[in-house]
Homo-oligomer: A and B are copies of this chain.
Amino acid sequence: MTTDLREVGVSVVRKDGLAKVTGAAEYLDDLTIPNAAVAALVRSPYAHARIVRIDGTPAAATPGVLAVITTDDLGEIGARRFGSYTKDQPVLARGVVRFEGEPVAAVVATDARTARAAAALVDVEYDELACAVDVHAALATGAPLVHETAPPLGRQGRWPAVPGTNICARVVIEQGNVDAGLAEADVVIEQTYTFPRVFHYTLEPHGAVASVASDEVTVWTNTGHPYQLRQELADTFGISLNRIRVVVPYVGGSFGGKSFPKLEPLAAALSWKVGRPVKVLNGVEGSMRTNRRNGATCHVTLGLRRDGTLTAKRCRVLLDTGAYADSGPLVADKASVRMLGPYRVPHYHIDVQAVYTNTTPAGSYRSIGGPQTVWASESIMDEAADAIGMDAVELRLHNLVKRGEPVRPDLRPMDADLGDDLERLAKTMDLTEGGRKTTNPLGRGVGVAIANPAELPISTSIVRLHYDGSVTVLCSTVEVGQGLHTVLAQIAAEELGIDHSLVTVVSPDTRYGPYDWSTGASRGTAIVGSAVQRACRDIKDQLRALAAESAGVPVDGITIGDGSVHVGGRAVEYAQVIREWFGRPAGEVIGRGYVRNLGPSPAFWEIGMGGAEVEVDRETGEVRLRSYTALADVGRAINPQQCEAQDIGAVVMGLGHTLFEEMVYSESGSLLNATMLEYRVPVITDLPETMETVLIENADGTGPFGAKGMGEGGGIPVAPAVANAIARATGVRIRDLPLTPERVWRALRVAGRAAAPSRREASL
């Protein structure tokens, strides 16, 4: 791609690189908050129980213990609920516990060891209740209710809980008449696909340090959503937004698991109670008991003609959102549109329900609702291709919406060339040799995923141009490792025509940095980047006006280019313009950029596709990836190396839920593998022998210089691509994740004995 860009499209070295490799970068636990006490949490051993009595007396008598705190000690704050979509979660369990590991009491002590030892002395008497550990149990007639009364909506809530049921939120989207559409079909496929409950497994667990003073509530936290958290804390304490300060240092991975409030309201309540800063920090197990991904059961009916034309799609998706809503309702909303996929389907009806269960609360996780639904929708596309004897890539190409074609009435028409992208993927994988040769002895499969059909706009930024020409960018995106500080510096440098080394991007502190919706949804480059770009343009407008005023000439003739202001043929450095206008080497020019919510959103925000080549050991059921190819249609790669690294990282994460990962709950709701040893994630030896990433740059995104989102799309197609490849390699279709050796071996064994029973029978 040839451009006249100088700072963008270049793999400049990460701004945070040196600090991170030298260990100088500070994460939450590295911060020294003076006089901070430490809290240890007393967690429920039951998945559902009434709290009869809490005796904190022996714990409170331990030297070094400052307080043993239960909900009753927190007054109104104890009675309040937080939750951005559904206000259902107390800072400490109140009367009832709804999942194993729910915090029931907190012991605040001068140090962590004392707090933990004393927490073990807190005696809680429970009255165990029947529990609903999965969505089927939760939706069964007479199921125990996780919440006896339907909780109210949160500030962002749009999808109410259904009273008298465990339905936390329900989203239905539809078009046409599905029955009629299915009647038009030559072939109807109906299958159920399940996706496990999995854990984000960020390197850094959740944590928060809070300090509540008379005039300000300060929370240092590793959240990805400083501003959403600010609102929740303002609600918790009943004070205005200017009195809440959320400070976010470097964050060791979020992947959505640190979106929305987690431990912060509790930390703040404890600080308020004990009158000094309080730190609450999870270990890995604590974080596994704090948040996870929504598990899913996707029942899909797909109708198509013999020529490959899709006629109708009916889906029922049950999301296991655990004991508290977190962002479950939003996951349901996004799952509904992701379930539809990037295909032309005249008739569809998609019904998604987020279901409360007595398990770990589930929320956002790298493409919310994406991997779960695409697992189903891309698996069934291969099954459908087989059913009509058509090449699977060909079937997709036949149905993909084209550029400019409407996708849904409330979204902008398709703004990418998906067919070209898929052809490119197939060509890269060498699938085109001999004409769509998608089946081979090794097993090659292709999954296509198109992610995040939502812009999630609203971002603001402040860019400060100093009087020496250097720049500070204030925005509130969190550097969770995604490299956004570097990318934003490149965007600002490109827009201003200066070198990126002159640009500093600072970490969020809501006291100073301006509003941002969230760090998530692959929105940073395009949305925050746009806010930064607009602030830079605002600076350029001002520079022109200042130069005009200083020179006493009309602003019309003044232009900006190459990092200078051009006044009547004379190039004046920015620094000089500032100094001349302010009258001294002093002052600065402050630019602001706003990105607001202007519908309709683009149809597909981020485009990722992937294809896998596998080897299956029929003796052990082990699946080895020979190669994996990821394609990302990024519009513009601001920093190509970072884009590639993001895509590779997403693929590896996708391998986790594809091959290994599952949070296993007992029938009584006990999480059985809440340790680093027992919860299996991909390690370096699990990686494909070869990995290739393809970046498509058509400069057709809505972000700066044509950039789109990226970083989530890579992980979404992994599971169906691998399962499709296994089916081609072995003739056996597996519809439940993860594809562990045991599961694959059993499936091969069943297939070897007889025709495989329909998955529908097996799973229902």
Contacts and interface: CB of A to CB of B under 8 A. Distances in A.
Tell me which of A474, A509, A514 has the highest count of chain B C-beta atoms within 10 A of its own C-beta: A514
Given A214-B19, A241-B470, A583-B598, A506 B512 contact: yes
B590 A242 contact: no
A590 B592 contact: yes
A316 interface: no
Contacts of A472: 242, 511-512
Name the interface size band of chain A: 35 or more
A241 B470 CA distance: 6
A592 to B, nearest CB: 4
A466 B18 contact: no
B214 A470 contact: no
B215 A515 contact: no
Nearest to A591: B592
Contacts of A365: none
Given A470-B243, A506-B512, A512-B509, A458 B214 contact: no
A471 interface: yes
Tell me which of A214, A584, A587 has the highest count of chain B C-beta atoms within 10 A of its own C-beta: A587
Copies of this chain per assembly: 2
Interface string A498-539: 000011101001011111010000000000000000000000
Contacts of A514: 464, 588, 590
Contacts of A242: 466, 470-472, 502-504
Interface of A: 15, 18-19, 22, 24, 30-34, 155-156, 213-216, 227, 231, 234, 240-243, 457-458, 460, 462, 464, 466-472, 474, 502-504, 506, 509, 511-515, 517, 581-588, 590, 592, 594, 596-599
B512 A513 contact: yes
A329 to B, nearest CB: 16
Closest 7 pairs (CB-CB, A-B): A583-B597, A512-B512, A242-B470, A240-B470, A32-B34, A241-B466, A590-B592
Contact of A586 (B215, B515, B581): B515
8 contacts: A155-B585, A227-B586, A242-B472, A460-B588, A466-B515, A474-B512, A590-B592, A592-B592
A117 B657 CA distance: 61
B458 A587 contact: yes
Contacts of A502: 240, 242
Contacts of A466: 240-242, 515
B582 A458 contact: yes
Contacts of A240: 466, 468-470, 502
B462 A462 contact: yes
A216 B18 CA distance: 12
